[in-house]
Amino acid sequence: MDLQSGFVLLKDIHGPLQYLLLPTTKMKGMESPELLQAKTANFFWLAWQQRNFMSLRRGSPVPDDVISLTINSTSGRTQNQLHIHISCLRPDVRNQLNQYAKTLNNGWQDFPAPLAGNKYIARKVSEAEFVQRSPFILLASQVPQAREHMGSYSLAMAKLADGEWVILATERNLLHLNLASAEQLQDHSCELLK
């Protein structure tokens, strides 16, 4: 718990290494307007800073390229308290990120292939940008109409081989059976570590 930074870290019951970062104040989730205020903590950056708990629990280092952060949409979640999943990335998703990393830049664009069967948009961020601007703000300020429909979106982040991060976003689309649950990109059994 870090009251000064306004979050708690909990060990999730699913998976040996999954953790959840939750704000200490009541925020429902992606749709919470507080997330778009500059004074609100950058919960994704804070979650990334807590990744060492995965290594401590495992008893050996968990490489950064194995770790992912996700938050689900209003229809893709099970709780009405904002929480960011800190867990392992699915091996097939890691392979796709490696394959298409060179096609990504610092502007939002369609990811070249479906991830876990769903369409995503993606953008790269440097560490300096990640520290200064939360993925919530980047999505709301740069993707047309996202600000008005934040609860329909889900976000994921992972580190790329070049040292930058990729932000992935998917929007709920019931016609395509997409509930916007970026947690589907994670593998809570951590196959990449086996």
b or e along 38-54 (b: 16 or more beta carbons within 10 Å of the residue's beta carbon)? Answer: eebbbbbbbbbebbeeb
Per-residue pLDDT of the chain (194 residues), as tens digits, is: 666 778 999 999 999 999 999 999 999 999 999 999 999 999 999 999 999 999 999 999 999 999 999 999 977 777 879 999 999 999 999 999 999 999 999 999 999 999 999 999 999 999 999 999 999 999 999 999 999 999 999 999 999 999 999 999 999 888 888 789 999 999 999 999 99
Supply the CATH number for residue 109's domain.
3.30.428.30
pTM: 0.95
Domain contains 99: yes
Domain contains 1: no
b or e along 172-186 (b: 16 or more beta carbons within 10 Å of the residue's beta carbon)? Answer: beeeeebbbbbbbbb
Domain contains 2: no
Domain around 146: 7-193
Domain contains 74: yes
What's the number of domains the chain is made of? Answer: 1
